């Protein structure tokens, strides 16, 4: 996608940040460590190929196939490999929401996130407000996302600080019995797999 | 090091603001920087812990003011300056993982060290000197405290340790809630 090169627009002067990024790219290309084509392909992949639809497919399979769900909870890395999804040297731990248990994932130290299932994290996930508050006042954070967790429900926060990545397996919504996997997957949002959302059938789709 | 990145439990950062229909990258340079960081790392210029250590070395006021990709850009510049733009020697590249030799088992009560090391570490401040229960055992994985300086890999088991919210936050914690944290063996006693 060479047309996306900032330096090839040619008209507006480069901003300071653009110029600095370009200087690094030029240096690494000159040293033979990378190619600009590889940079283009990387950007394209993250903008078009990798995103929450991959994680949603895993969730829909787990809802549809109890044996797969058991394997997914026992060894997430091996189970997603069955679906052709690789987790590059990072172990996947899948944590299940159930009546009385709500899981929430954060990385207080940086931005650890199962990008190979969900794409790159949104800005809020990497922001100081989320990273500071998710561990000390998860219920207040969830309230801001529109989730009011009942007092007696246990909120389990997972601060991913090592080589593990966490995916929340949300509860399957009532009324979705018998739905095919593709239809189920379309219900599953990124936030539901982080734990800042739940899965619901939109009003318009309900009978 | 007790630097600005160690945000868990801080007050005053405000509400979590989610952007509707957020693009993957807000500006083309962000995508370039994301690619450069990953490709340079894969080319062996630096490892993941060196990258994190460098991001964390940004002066605290700058760290908090900068956007995520501004931090990455700043770290890339400093990593390249530090490394002279040459790949690191093969001896510090990943080696074979040894078998897991875990000192603790699932269900063990453990306590995190109360330490304030002057080097990169992944033991967050809010979880130091706290008591929890081993929930899961993984790895072994290279100890970040060592790998962050490009030294030979030190492999240790990683434990997911569950802490009651009230152990971490006292009366401010909800009695129903918990925080589980992934911790290298050396962080526990």
Instruction: Provide the residue ranges of all domains of chain A, joining segments of one domain with +.
Output: 15-49, 52-205
**What pLDDT does B151 receive?**
85
Catalytic residue among A2, A15, A26, A112: A112
Closest-CA residue in chain A for B70?
A17
Do the domains B1-88 and B109-187 sit in the same CATH topology, yes or no?
Answer: no
Is CATH 3.40.720.10 the classification given to domain A52-205?
Answer: no
Catalytic residue among A15, A111, A132, A161: A111
Catalytic residue among A15, A26, A110, A161: A110
Q: Please answer whether residues A194 and A142 qualify as being in contact, where contact means their C-beta atoms are separated by less than 8 angstroms.
A: no
Instruction: Confirm whether A87 is a catalytic residue.
Output: no
**Residue A47 in contact with partner chain B when CB distance is under 8 A:** yes
pLDDT in single tens digits along all 189 residues of chain B: 999 999 999 999 999 999 999 999 999 999 999 999 999 999 999 999 999 999 999 999 999 999 999 999 999 999 999 987 666 654 455 578 899 999 999 999 999 999 999 999 999 999 999 999 999 999 899 999 999 998 889 999 999 999 999 999 999 999 999 999 999 999 999
Model's pTM, two decimal places? 0.94
The CA-atom distances, in angstroms, between A115 and each of A45, A49, A190, A193, B21 are 12, 11, 11, 12, 18
Q: What percent of chain A has pLDDT over 90?
A: 87
The tens digit of pLDDT for each residue in A144-184 reads 999 999 999 999 999 999 989 999 999 999 999 999 999 99
Q: Is the pLDDT of residue A2 over 60?
A: no
- Chain B residue numbers touching A53 (CB-CB < 8 A): none
- Chain A residue numbers touching B28 (CB-CB < 8 A): 4-6, 18, 43
CATH of B109-187, one of 3.30.390.10, 2.40.10.120, 2.30.30.50, 2.20.130.10: 2.30.30.50
Instruction: Confirm whether A110 is a catalytic residue.
Output: yes
**What pLDDT does A11 receive?**
66
**What pLDDT does B84 receive?**
78
The tens digit of pLDDT for each residue in A106-143 reads 999 999 999 999 999 999 999 999 999 999 999 999 99
Q: Which residues pair with residue B62 across a beta bridge?
A: none
Chain A closest CA to B2's CA: distance in Å? Answer: 11
Measured distance CA(B150)–CA(B34) in Å, rounded: 22
Q: Do A130 and B39 touch (CB under 8 A)?
A: no
Q: Is the pLDDT of residue A197 over 80?
A: yes
Instruction: Please name the residues in contact with B168: beta carbons below 8 A apart, sequence gap of 6 or more.
Output: A135, A136, B9, B126, B127, B130, B179
Q: Where are the domains of chain B?
A: 1-88, 109-187
Q: Please answer whether residues B6 and A131 qualify as being in contact, where contact means their C-beta atoms are separated by less than 8 angstroms.
A: no
Q: What is the CATH number of domain B1-88?
A: 1.10.472.20
Instruction: Confirm whether A107 is a catalytic residue.
Output: yes
Q: What 3-state DSSP class applies to B132? A: strand
Helices (H) and strands (E) in chain B, counts: 6, 4
Q: Is the pLDDT of residue A10 over 60?
A: no
Chains A, B: CB contacts within 8 A come to 208
Closest CA to B121 of B183, B45, B46: B183
- Chain A residue numbers touching B86 (CB-CB < 8 A): 31
Beta-sheet strands, E only, within A97-170: 101-106, 154-159, 164-169
- Chain B residue numbers touching A15 (CB-CB < 8 A): 29
DSSP state of A88: T
- Chain A residue numbers touching B133 (CB-CB < 8 A): none
| Nearest CB neighbour to B14, from listed A20, A25, A129 | A129
Chain B closest CA to A178's CA: distance in Å? Answer: 30
The tens digit of pLDDT for each residue in A55-90 reads 999 999 999 999 999 999 999 999 999 999 988 778
């Amino acid at each position: 996608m060479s047309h996306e090169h900032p330096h090839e627009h040619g008209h507006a002067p480069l901003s300071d940040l653009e110029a600095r990024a370009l200087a690094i790219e030029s240096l690494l290309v000159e040293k033979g460590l990378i190619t600009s084509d590889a940079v283009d392909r990387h950007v394209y992949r993250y903008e078009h190929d990798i995103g929450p639809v991959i994680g949603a497919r895993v969730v829909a399979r787990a809802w549809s196939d109890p044996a797969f769900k058991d394997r997914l909870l026992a060894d997430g890395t091996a189970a997603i490999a069955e679906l052709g999804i690789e987790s590059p040297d990072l172990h996947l731990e899948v944590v299940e929401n159930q009546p009385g248990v709500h899981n929430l994932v954060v990385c207080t130290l940086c931005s650890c996130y199962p990008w190979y299932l969900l794409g790159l994290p949104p800005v809020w996930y990497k922001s100081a407000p989320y990273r500071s508050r998710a561990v000390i006042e998860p219920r207040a954070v969830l309230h801001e996302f529109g989730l009011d967790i009942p007092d007696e429900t246990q909120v389990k926060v997972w601060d991913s600080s090592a080589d593990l990545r966490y995916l929340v397996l949300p509860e399957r919504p009532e009324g979705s019995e018998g739905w095919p996997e593709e239809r189920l997957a379309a219900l599953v949002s990124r936030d539901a797999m982080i734990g800042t959302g739940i899965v619901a059938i939109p009003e318009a789709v309900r009978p | 090091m007790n630097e600005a990145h160690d945000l868990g439990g801080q007050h005053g950062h405000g509400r979590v603001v989610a952007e509707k229909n957020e693009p993957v990258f807000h500006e083309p340079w962000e995508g370039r920087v994301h690619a450069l960081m990953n490709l340079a790392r894969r080319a062996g210029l630096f490892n993941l812990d060196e990258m994190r250590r460098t991001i964390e070395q940004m002066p605290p006021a700058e760290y908090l003011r900068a956007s995520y990709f501004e931090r990455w850009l700043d770290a890339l510049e400093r990593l390249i300056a530090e490394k002279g733009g040459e790949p690191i020697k093969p001896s510090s590249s990943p080696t074979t993982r040894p078998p897991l030799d875990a000192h603790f088992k699932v269900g063990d009560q453990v306590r995190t060290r109360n330490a304030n090391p002057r080097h990169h570490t992944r033991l967050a401040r809010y979880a130091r000197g706290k008591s929890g229960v081993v929930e899961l055992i993984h790895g072994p994985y290279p100890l970040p405290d060592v790998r962050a300086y490009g030294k030979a890999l030190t492999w240790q088991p990683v434990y997911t340790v569950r802490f009651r919210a009230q152990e971490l936050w006292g009366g401010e914690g909800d009695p129903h809630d918990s925080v589980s944290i992934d911790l290298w063996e050396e962080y526990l006693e």
